[in-house]
Structure 1
Amino acid sequence: MKWVAAAAAFAAMTGLALAQQPTFFRIGTGGTAGTYYPVGGLIANAISGHGDKGVPGLVATAVASNGSVANVNAIESGSMESGFSQSDVAFWAYTGTGLYDGKAKVEDLRIIANLYPETIHLVASKASGIKSVADLKGKRVALDEPGSGTLVDARIVLSAFGLTEKDIKPEYLKPGPASDRLRDGALDAFFFVGGYPTGAISELASSTAIELVPITGPEVDKMLAQYKFFAKDKVPADTYKGVAATDTISVNAQWVTSAKQPDDLIYNIVKVLWNKDSRAALDAGHAKGKLITLDNATNGLGIPLHPGAERFYKEAGVLK
């Protein structure tokens, strides 16, 4: 009977070990100088299990990436469990349109939560004399890296004003390196899509005379009618040092995952995301954190919610 007792003890120990195995959950974000990365860190810390907080056994991490497109592709391939994406990129991926025209649809893409508006920044040095999108012709302009949602939107904005990359001197840089080059006089302007204020632009404005270029006018009105995921937006005065209030446009930042992720896991993650401890962390951790609210979590989705998330939102009364 000793071997029976030993086997039972071993089974119990093995079961305990299995029960204690952590569940890893990566959140693809963006460049470290943008908004996705710090917000992703806040959310990862809030949902990770530690003490009596978070999802028990969950180890969530924010991973720097090239942004929306790269995150969607990583979710599709299984190299990331989740990630942040602009609403336009998520819609295109799911429907096989726009940027994903001619590519296989990412049919398993699902939403965990809508997060906050992402503002399209067009940052220019005052010395460049750039006052409108049309003024970018012939200028040195950074459009962000391939795989980023910023690059996609920058191309749409240029096109609205009758411009292509052939009409400018394009560079493909994240906002951090682009800021450095603009500060050094090696760049005239750069695009960045993200929640304001973003660290790289705040730092740049503290040492360099910059302007936000308005993205407005009849060209933009026509563009908004064509691309429903854009909305009018305004960056308030002095969001960045010495920069006046600027009319522009925005898309939504969304937290997306795969339909293959377990329903109970996503349900528990969403439940913790909207508890009082997470609320306090979001409010205190980043200017955009205050805009991440349960009331807005199911607005402007464009693609289906993950069933686990949908279950929570129905229980919470924000979905019927």
Structure 2
Amino acid sequence: MLQRVTKSLRSTWNRWGIRRIYGAAIILAGVTALGGLSLMDGLVSQVSAQDVTYFRIGTSRPGSHLFNIAAEIGNAISNPTGGADCAPTDACGVPGVVGMAQTTAGAIESLQQLREGGLDAAIVQADLVALAAQGKGPFKEAGPDPDLRAIATVGDVALQVIVPAASPIKTLADLKGKRVATNPAESDGAISISQIFTTLGLTSRRVKLLPMELSEAASQLAAGKVDAIAIVERPDLAEITSIAEHMPIRLIPVGAAEKAKIGTDRRDLLLAHLPAGTDATSGETDTFIVPVLFVVTTKTDNTVAHELARTLVVPQRDTKLTSNPAASKPDAHVESTVIPLHPGVEQLLGTTN
């Protein structure tokens, strides 16, 4: 089961072709499944096969990249019948547990339900997790959430700013005064674009952001009704690559000025290369990627997390291993996230050293 989820996630990373330049948040598919192992407080470590527990993983809409990750994790941890014939060294899922990808309106709702106990975990972009932990941005009214804990980084999404090849727009600063289509209103991507652009000085007074579905954005770019598309999404989406069938396109790179404004010590925005061919473009492009985290809370039981995770393959701390074959410099560790690791993960890492 673990091999199946690992293979699927790896094929996603290979398809993206992302190569890290610097950063944190190592991707670990083995620990990915661990997130579903940490059930809510009050549950004993030995789960009876007769008592099925549903582990609810909050995620975005069906068909989205985050939903697919949640579904893979749910499949990996599910073992409602107990599997008595499973060898101790095999990853056969969690006895008595059924993992469920539960759709929400996005990160705001997922993290709110996780905080209130309506979910057991959530698959959320790291930049939004950081805002929730600090009580900033869309989480300002709710206040800081100090109980959020990370199980692992389970994927990435990337900042992609797309223009026609003949466009005079060469840098992100050139977007000033332009019409820019972006992710749908109140979506995770739209919140990320707003936060990133504000940090870069591209406020709503300087750039006209037009939230819409990606298919509509692609049509409007091809028709010349918008000057650019700016999204935080998985690269090589069909809606984007289809534009190249009608017109050449370019990705606008993150330049030195943008790198300086964002900084190199953040764990929610990491500098990366998108290789030639990404989104049907001809050259490499520097951009920012946003890690996707598997998040639980402090209420998730330590003993259960360790007991049910003992059959998983976990790297030793500081061995600088990564299950992401696309990472060119795996110089960060699994504990490098925007929120603390769950103690159950710390315990598991300690026993494997």
The question of a shared fold, defined as TM-score above 0.5 by the shorter chain, is answered with yes
Structure 1 pair 44–133 and aligned structure 2 pair: CA distance change class (3 A): same
Q: What SS is found at the alignment partner of 1:167?
A: coil
Matches of 1:207 and 1:41, distance apart in 2? 34
- What is the CA deviation profile of residues 168-212 of structure 1, one whole-angstrom value per residue up to 9, with x for unaligned ones? 332223545544554565444333324444454345545553321
Contact 1:33 1:198 in 2 (8 A): no
Give the structure 1 partner of residue 263 of structure 2. Answer: 224
Task: Kindly provide the amino acid, as one letter, of the partner of residue 84 in structure 1.
Answer: I
Structure 1 pair 58–290 and aligned structure 2 pair: CA distance change class (3 A): farther
Task: Kindly provide the amino acid, as one letter, of the partner of residue 78 in structure 2.
Answer: S
1:298 corresponds, among 334, 350, 353, to: 334
Task: Kindly provide the amino acid, as one letter, of the partner of residue 93 in structure 1.
Answer: A
Equivalent residue runs for 1:158-197 within 5 Å: 158-175=197-214, 177-179=216-218, 181-183=220-222, 185-197=224-236
Task: Kindly provide the amino acid, as one letter, of the partner of residue 98 in structure 2.
Answer: V
Task: Kindly provide the amino acid, as one letter, of the partner of residue 249 in structure 2.
Answer: I
Matches of 2:210 and 2:138, distance apart in 1? 20
Matches of 2:352 and 2:154, distance apart in 1? 17
Contact 1:237 1:245 in 2 (8 A): yes
Contact 1:143 1:173 in 2 (8 A): yes
| Unpaired stretches in structure 1, ≥5 consecutive residues | 1-17, 276-282
Give the structure 1 partner of residue 148 of structure 2. Answer: 109
Matches of 2:307 and 2:161, distance apart in 1? 38
Q: What SS is found at the alignment partner of 2:115?
A: helix
Structure 1 pair 197–303 and aligned structure 2 pair: CA distance change class (3 A): same
Give 1:33 deviation, angstroms: 5.5
Give 1:111 deviation, angstroms: 0.8
Percent of counterpart pairs with the same letter?
A: 28
Structure 1 pair 179–66 and aligned structure 2 pair: CA distance change class (3 A): farther
Task: Kindly provide the amino acid, as one letter, of the partner of residue 100 in structure 2.
Answer: T
The reply to whether residue 307 of structure 1 matches residue 343 of structure 2 is: yes
Give 1:252 deviation, angstroms: 2.0
Structure of greater Rg: 1
26-35 vs 106-115, greater mean Cα deviation: 26-35
Matches of 1:63 and 1:184, distance apart in 2? 37
Give the structure 1 partner of residue 60 of structure 2. Answer: 30
Q: What SS is found at the alignment partner of 1:211?
A: strand
Equivalent residue runs for 1:208-247 within 5 Å: 208-224=247-263, 229-247=268-286
- What is the CA deviation profile of residues 26-55 of structure 1, one whole-angstrom value per residue up to 9, with x for unaligned ones? 222334554322222222222221654211
Give the structure 1 partner of residue 26 of structure 2. Answer: none
Give the structure 1 partner of residue 132 of structure 2. Answer: 93
Matches of 2:212 and 2:311, distance apart in 1? 35
Contact 1:116 1:252 in 2 (8 A): yes
Structure 1 pair 198–73 and aligned structure 2 pair: CA distance change class (3 A): farther
| Unpaired stretches in structure 2, ≥5 consecutive residues | 1-47, 87-91, 315-322
Give 1:258 deviation, angstroms: 2.0
2:295 corresponds, among 246, 251, 256, to: 256
Give 1:133 deviation, angstroms: 1.7
294-303 vs 139-148, greater mean Cα deviation: 294-303
Give the structure 2 partner of residue 144 of structure 1. Answer: 183
Structure 1 pair 117–152 and aligned structure 2 pair: CA distance change class (3 A): same
Higher helix share: 1
Q: What SS is found at the alignment partner of 2:272?
A: strand
Structure 1 pair 181–84 and aligned structure 2 pair: CA distance change class (3 A): farther
Matches of 2:204 and 2:135, distance apart in 1? 24
Structure 1 pair 232–64 and aligned structure 2 pair: CA distance change class (3 A): same
TM-score (norm: length of structure 2): 0.68
- What is the CA deviation profile of residues 3-46 of structure 1, one whole-angstrom value per residue up to 9, with x for unaligned ones? xxxxxxxxxxxxxxx85232112222334554322222222222
Question: Would you say how many aligned residue pairs link Structure 1 and Structure 2?
Answer: 289
RCO (CA 8 Å, sep 6+): is it higher in 1 or 2?
2
Contact 1:114 1:299 in 2 (8 A): no
Q: What SS is found at the alignment partner of 1:240?
A: helix
TM-score (norm: length of structure 1): 0.74
Give 1:113 deviation, angstroms: 0.8
